[in-house]
C-alpha cells in the first residue's frame, strides 16, 4: 500500500541523513516503530484538540481512500482528485507564465487579470493545456468507475489507521462525513451544470451565426466555437469552485465533527485550514479555528492588487481559553493578534 511504501521511504531518508552525519549505522524498522508514530489524516488529543487539513470536505480535493489513494487495479499510480489533476496538467503551466498565480485568492481574479493583460497567450494556454487536463481526468475517472462497477462495496479506512486514540467506529464516521459532504457538493455542481445548458446553447448559436457569416473562413469560426465553449465551461466550473471558498464549507463540517466526537471524545478546539480563510467561531461547546494561510495572498495590491498575510493558530501547552489566532508581523519579528474584521476591509 501507499502507507507501507511511505514508511519505507521515511526510513531510507532518515538512514541516509544519519550516515551522512557520521552518527553510526542505519536504524532498524523496530527502532523507527518505537520512535516515530504516523497519524492518520487527522491529529487528535483527547479532550483537547482535533486537527484536520480540511481538503477531504471539498470535492476537488477529496480522496476516496485517503490512506491508500491508488488507482484501482493499478497500485503503482496515485488516484488524484480532479483538483490535483487540474493543478498538475493546467495550473502548473499557468505558473510558468505567472509564478504568483497560485497565490491569488480567488483564482478567478487571476484569470480575469490574465485575460485583460494577455488574452491571446492566456486563451492558447487554457485551450491547449485544458485538453490535456480533460484527457487525464477522463482516464482516471473511467478507470475508477470501471472498477467500482466490479467492486461496489465501500472501503473501510478505519482498519488502516494503526495506533490512533479514537475507536475504529469514530474514525470511520469521520471518513463517512467527508464522503457525504463531498457527494452533496457534487450534486450541487451537477444541478448548476444542468441549469447552465440554455446559456451554453446561446453561445453555440452565436458561434454558428458567425460561421454562416464568414463563409469560407469556416475553420476560424470553428476555432472560435471551441474556444468559446471551453471558456464558458471553464468559467462556470471555476466560479462555482472558487466562489464557494467564501461560503466557508469547513464551518458546517466542523459542526458535524463536534457531534461525531461528543460526548466520549469531545475536544475544546477543532482546527482546519485548506481554504486559506482565517476564521474563529464558537460551536456548541468547542471552538472552530481556521488557521488561514502561511503563504503570500494577493488580495488588494501588488501584481494584481494583493497583500501578504501570514496567519496561524497558537495553542500553548495547558492553555484552555479562547483560541489564539495570530498573524506574523515581519517588521516586529513577532506574532500579533489577528483582527478578523480587517480581512474583509
How does strand 287-290 pair with strand 279-282?
antiparallel
**What confidence category does residue 206 fall into, taking pLDDT thresholds of 50, 70 and 90?**
low
Q: What SS3 class is residue 51?
A: strand
pLDDT digits (tens, 9 = 90+) for 145-167: 554 444 444 455 554 555 567 89
Q: Where are the alpha helices (DSSP H) in the chain?
A: 2-20, 29-35, 82-86, 92-97, 107-117, 119-150, 168-195, 197-214, 218-243, 250-261
Which pLDDT score is estimated for 343?
A: 47
Number of domains the chain is built from: 2
The per-residue pLDDT of the chain, averaged, comes to 73
Asked if residue 30 belongs to a domain, the reply is: yes
Asked if residue 22 belongs to a domain, the reply is: yes
Phi–psi pair at 335, nearest 5 degrees:
-75, 155
Angstrom distance (rounded) from CA 97 to CA 115: 13
Q: Chain centroid to CA 249: how far? A: 12
**What confidence category does residue 113 fall into, taking pLDDT thresholds of 50, 70 and 90?**
confident
Burial of 250 (0-12, 13-18, 19+ CB in 10 A): buried
Asked if residue 189 belongs to a domain, the reply is: no
- Least reliable range by pLDDT among 165-169, 198-202, 271-275, 279-283: 198-202
Domain that holds residue 315: 250-344
Q: Locate 1 and state its grid cell.
A: 500500500
Indicate the DSSP class of residue 197: H
Asked if residue 173 belongs to a domain, the reply is: no
Q: Locate 300 and state its grid cell.
A: 488588494
Contact 254, 267 (CB under 8 A): no
- Least reliable range by pLDDT among 66-80, 205-219, 241-255, 284-298: 205-219
For residue 204, count other CB atoms closer than 10 A to its CB.
13
pLDDT digits (tens, 9 = 90+) for 88-100: 776 677 777 777 7
Asked if residue 57 belongs to a domain, the reply is: no
User: Residue 228, CB half-sphere, CA atoms under 13 Å: how many?
Assistant: 17
Secondary structure (DSSP) of 105-119: SSHHHHHHHHHHH-H
Asked if residue 300 belongs to a domain, the reply is: yes
Asked if residue 332 belongs to a domain, the reply is: yes
Asked if residue 319 belongs to a domain, the reply is: yes
Q: What SS3 class is residue 313?
A: strand
Contact 40, 164 (CB under 8 A): yes
3-state SS, one letter per residue, for 5-43: HHHHHHHHHHHHHHHHCCCCCCCCHHHHHHHCCCCCCEE
Which pLDDT score is estimated for 103?
A: 65
Amino acid at each position: 500500500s501507499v502507507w507501507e511504501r511511505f514508511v519505507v521511504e521515511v526510513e531510507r531518508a532518515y538512514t541516509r541523513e544519519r550516515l551522512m552525519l557520521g552518527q553510526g549505522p542505519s536504524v532498524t524498522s523496530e527502532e523507527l516503530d518505537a520512535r516515530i508514530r504516523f497519524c492518520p489524516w487527522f491529529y487528535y488529543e483527547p479532550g483537547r484538540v482535533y486537527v484536520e487539513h480540511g481538503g477531504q470536505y471539498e470535492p476537488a480535493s477529496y480522496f476516496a481512500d485517503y490512506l491508500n489513494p491508488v488507482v484501482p487495479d493499478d497500485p503503482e499510480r496515485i488516484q488524484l482528485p480532479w483538483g490535483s489533476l487540474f493543478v498538475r496538467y493546467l495550473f502548473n503551466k499557468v505558473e510558468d507564465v505567472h509564478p504568483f498565480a497560485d497565490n491569488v485568492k480567488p483564482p478567478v481574479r487571476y484569470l480575469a487579470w490574465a485575460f485583460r493583460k494577455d488574452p491571446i497567450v492566456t486563451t492558447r494556454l487554457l485551450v491547449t493545456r485544458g485538453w490535456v487536463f480533460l484527457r487525464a481526468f477522463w482516464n482516471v475517472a473511467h478507470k475508477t468507475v470501471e472498477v467500482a462497477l466490479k467492486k461496489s462495496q465501500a472501503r473501510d479506512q478505519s482498519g488502516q489507521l494503526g495506533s490512533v486514540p479514537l475507536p475504529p467506529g469514530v474514525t470511520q464516521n469521520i471518513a463517512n462525513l467527508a464522503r457525504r459532504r463531498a457527494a452533496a457538493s457534487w450534486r450541487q455542481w451537477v444541478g448548476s451544470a444542468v441549469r447552465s445548458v440554455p446559456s451554453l446553447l446561446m453561445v453555440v448559436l452565436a458561434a454558428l451565426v458567425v460561421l454562416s457569416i464568414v463563409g469560407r473562413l469556416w475553420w476560424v469560426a470553428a476555432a472560435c466555437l471551441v474556444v468559446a465553449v471551453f471558456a464558458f465551461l471553464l468559467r462556470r466550473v471555476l466560479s462555482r469552485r472558487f466562489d464557494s471558498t467564501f461560503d466557508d464549507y469547513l464551518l458546517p463540517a466542523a459542526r458535524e465533527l463536534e457531534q461525531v466526537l461528543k460526548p466520549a471524545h469531545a475536544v475544546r478546539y477543532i482546527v482546519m485550514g485548506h481554504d486559506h480563510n482565517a476564521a474563529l467561531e464558537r460551536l456548541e461547546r468547542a471552538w472552530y479555528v481556521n488557521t488561514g494561510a502561511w503563504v503570500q495572498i494577493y488580495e488588494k495590491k501588488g501584481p494584481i492588487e494583493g497583500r501578504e498575510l501570514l496567519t496561524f493558530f497558537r495553542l500553548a501547552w495547558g492553555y484552555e481559553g479562547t483560541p489564539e489566532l495570530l498573524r506574523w508581523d515581519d517588521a516586529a519579528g513577532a506574532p500579533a493578534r489577528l483582527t478578523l474584521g480587517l480581512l474583509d476591509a
